[in-house]
Chain A
């Protein structure tokens, strides 16, 4: 089916409903009139800077701040000792030196005993300007006793490894979750082990095992993290402008952490310059700006520079995975078993909403039909920055999709079978939906083969294989890589999901003014997703109000209802559904008012876009604009019908939505230099109903660039001394237009059956789905050299080394 009927156009030429519409946000962005946190300047505002640890692991023997305090312009110098002296009247600890993480661990706001990663926060300077604050950092004298760092996750649990979290009384570097578990299992261990053992002993079956690493990368949003905090000592009101993807969640966390009354906290996230998960967590810097205003009585701005952002804020991935896949020789997959070593850094700061502490990783059975799946994840502490779930990853579905899509290609290589054919043999069939996966996920809808055929059609797959064969005969190496991914997005049902006990339903408010113009107040927070455009389109679709007549308000906790924010592709599945539901409530009220005005029963009315009319008498009716005025006017309303035209809603999703897609990447590899050129990228996404196809395609384009970046160049590695080797954009490479081809997009539309408008989340689809397609393409190109796997990023050096049979270990310094 096609998405929806074409919407009629408003006087401004915008669709009154779904369809392409230019982003209203761009009016200010392309004029340079956006308003970001660093643009906020309050009267009397002070600036700040954070002294960070040069070492990955060291004991702090003493800190001398006297010279810094004596520098003219310095207002306050705060250390961990200062924070230990500030009592905190909250349930989560008795002073400010430590704060809870989103995974029930603790994290130092400012180090008191030891530093545990390079870049960790050690002291905080508040000064009259940013330059003086930075000058003062150089005057702080910290006496460190260096300790041996734990940089190799594979060695973190070896006997005698230095213990990182001695603050918690630990004797090793294991991580224990809130349920008391040190390993996190999902699926059927026994059934999977039996199926694999059986296959090993069956001459008609094969078993393939592959070590696959998803190295540490960073979301690297264009805008770094920062905040401006001001505590009004008279009213007790704390106002905080901050780079947050989840303003309401942040407010509640500050209330719990700082013991401040929640009704006195106002969080404002103005324009946010990209998030990708980097702006979900609460960082020490945010807390320090609050402490700064408490201490000085003045507004305090804290804003990271690029190096600070790359070195200290939420990373992503860092999963050492070993996958085993069993199949018949005809290519029917039987079972997959996965063992993961998960590097969580120095504090377990993972943001994820389920009972399963590895997030959504256990969706790794992917898009295929097989009965047995099991995974075991062992998390460890290392002397690296904390975080763990970020970068458009859908709570670790990125790792899961990469694992299964690489494993399937390794299996295809083992079977000497075309990877497309192998996938087509195993894809879930339409009649299996709703489908319950072997690890317990209920996929809502899908017609996978159709989507894959569309992608192969666009690619001209058979011709590509012919071209490859001809080129190989000439000694040229091109590769074709597939990825078929399924995501679960839209966290989440209250019964299954929460973050720090906060449920994941989204509130929304819609008010239609007397003149028929409307304002919609969202709990979610755009970081570039075009909510101001697409949410107006949802209301327009439901009520027939012109989208340009609908103001979308978000990013201010004083002006919007509660909800958990925007990440994990959750806005459209949850808050987008709320927008449809609240519009329908208003529509129902409008019906009551129209019935009163038309002196008929509400049951006698019929809806067409923007208008209720009397059944069988189309001329007799009232438009939504007329009804808006009537509902605010003197019209006598029946008993039980409230005046005005507004409603609120809270949407608790019954399930996640499951977008999916088939991606095909075509690369050319120069074996003499190892250089990879991504020549073509075909992306066919099925995200259900598309509210604004142009916005969807924009998100897909961005995600594909992300994926090409991770596959080919992005990396945070560390040397053995604990130095971060990706701490600037000179070392942490992001792809440019020169590395990205002209994308070839396609779509199929399989609506979500449980979402009010049939939409699914799409924000992360391309980031999740594209890395395996690129890597599979490169491995396909290198097949004549006998190469089956090399870890990302596939830099020229790594590709050349793979050809030599000696791929680089990517998480450590290149040797």
Chain B
């Protein structure tokens, strides 16, 4: 049995404002706990030792998936399972279902949250690849107000984000793109493992030309989980196999993976290209304008 270090305080927040007030009260040694599937294991291994835990599981205001204007809004406390099952998300972007299906396992998906995944900011986080591909944004709130940060500016580096002390990520937003096709590809050593490499893409094809596209990559050292050069190359061109291969090649060139037990860097770089190509092909196929 693993044994976390002593914890001074555990409180259940009653509202977003209350959560922020509690965070301010306990300062930098306080942590929010949502699904607890990253933080609690780290505490059990004593890799994390917050002095205060502020539980935000009661915050129903953060639990909805909805459309606002031309954006999809997902509350921070929405569970992976709800993303997986959401007809609304699937209707706009099949990538949500494809991505969630390969995140961890049902037990983790039942409990883990969207906000928790983004704030943990693991360099292998699938939702980060998805968010970067769709060029979403996150909403961060503190005691003075809220601000919206593009997903491609959200990360400072592995496990580091724009969410500061006394702040809470409340929702993530994704632009709706009529006619977009999307797909997610992941290689893992075993079901439930972190990605060796994963790639999510969307493509909007209109009149035989790629009008818009996004490519997000996890676990391969791509800055902000994306390689804009690959997207820029493809936009305005016909979605031919040759062009897709070139985009995938550019995507891989923009990655800087490191070797670890999941695989050597050369393999990950290869996967970045292979999976980008596969995801792009399927995205193009399913784009309604294609």
Contacts and interface: CB of A to CB of B under 8 A. Distances in A.
Interface of A: 38, 130-131, 134-135, 303, 305-307, 672-675, 712-713, 715, 717, 725-726, 728, 730-731, 733, 735-736, 738-739, 795-797, 800-801, 808, 813-815
A776 to B, nearest CB: 21
B5 A673 contact: no
Given A673-B271, A796-B189, A814-B261, 20 more contacts: A135-B5, A305-B1, A673-B187, A713-B190, A715-B261, A730-B193, A736-B191, A738-B190, A739-B191, A795-B189, A795-B263, A796-B267, A797-B262, A801-B264, A801-B267, A808-B264, A813-B259, A814-B260, A814-B263, A815-B259
B1 A130 contact: yes
Contacts of A814: 259-264
14 contacts: A131-B3, A303-B1, A305-B1, A305-B3, A674-B187, A674-B267, A675-B187, A713-B190, A733-B193, A796-B187, A797-B263, A797-B264, A801-B267, A814-B260
Nearest to A224: B1
Nearest to A810: B261
Contacts of B189: 713, 733, 795-796
A796 B196 contact: yes
Nearest to A709: B190
A717 B259 CA distance: 14
Interface string B250-290: 00000000011111100100110011001000000000000
A135 B261 contact: no
B274 A796 contact: no
A739 B187 contact: no
B6 A738 contact: no
Given A673-B271, A800-B270, A801-B267, A130 B3 contact: yes
Contacts of B4: 131
Q: Which of A673, A712, A731, A814 has the most CB of B within 10 A?
A: A673
Contacts of A134: 3, 46
Contacts of A131: 3-4, 6
Nearest to A304: B1
A797 B267 contact: yes
B87 interface: no
B158 interface: no
A263 to B, nearest CB: 34
A790 to B, nearest CB: 13
B207 interface: no
| Chain B residues touching A, range | 20 to 34
Interface string B229-269: 00000000000000000000000000000011111100100
Interface string B1-16: 1111110000000000
Contacts of B192: 736
Nearest to A736: B191
Interface of B: 1-6, 45-46, 105, 187, 189-194, 196, 259-264, 267, 270-271, 274-275, 278
Contact of A813 (B45, B196, B261, B271): B261
A797 B270 CA distance: 10
A133 B275 CA distance: 48
A107 B259 CA distance: 35
Main secondary structure on A side of the interface with B: loop
A731 B261 CA distance: 8
Contact of A672 (B46, B191, B262, B274): B274
Contacts of B267: 674, 796-797, 800-801
Contact of B190 (A673, A725, A739): A739
A459 to B, nearest CB: 25
Contacts of B196: 796-797
The 5 A-B residue pairs whose C-beta atoms are closest, nearest first, are A797-B263, A738-B191, A134-B3, A797-B267, A733-B190
Contact of A717 (B2, B261, B270): B261
Contacts of A813: 259-261
Contact of B6 (A38, A130, A135, A739): A135
Nearest to A795: B189
Contacts of B46: 134
Nearest to B274: A672
Nearest to B277: A672
Contacts of B45: 307, 728
Given A672-B274, A739-B191, A815 B264 contact: yes
A673 B277 CA distance: 12
A475 to B, nearest CB: 15
Contacts of A135: 5-6
A287 B11 CA distance: 42
Contacts of B275: 673
B279 to A, nearest CB: 12
Nearest to A308: B2
A254 to B, nearest CB: 25
A709 to B, nearest CB: 9
A373 B194 CA distance: 45
A739 B261 CA distance: 19
A738 B257 CA distance: 28
A50 B223 CA distance: 41
Contacts of B187: 673-675, 796
B261 A38 contact: no
B76 to A, nearest CB: 25
A735 B3 contact: no
B1 A38 contact: yes
A733 B191 CA distance: 10
Contacts of A738: 190-191
A199 B192 CA distance: 50
Nearest to A226: B1
Contacts of B263: 795-797, 814
Nearest to B194: A730
A130 B275 CA distance: 47
A31 B178 CA distance: 53
A429 B140 CA distance: 75
Nearest to B3: A134
A519 B188 CA distance: 51
A617 B264 CA distance: 80
A134 B263 CA distance: 34
A690 to B, nearest CB: 32
B259 A306 contact: no
A305 B261 contact: no
A135 to B, nearest CB: 7
Given A38-B1, A797-B196, A800-B270, A725 B261 contact: yes
A38 B1 CA distance: 9
A807 B112 CA distance: 37
Contacts of B260: 813-814
A177 B175 CA distance: 70
Contacts of B191: 736, 738-739
A735 B4 CA distance: 28
Contact of A736 (B190, B262, B270): B190
Contacts of B190: 712-713, 733, 735-736, 738-739
Contacts of A736: 105, 190-192
Contacts of B270: 800
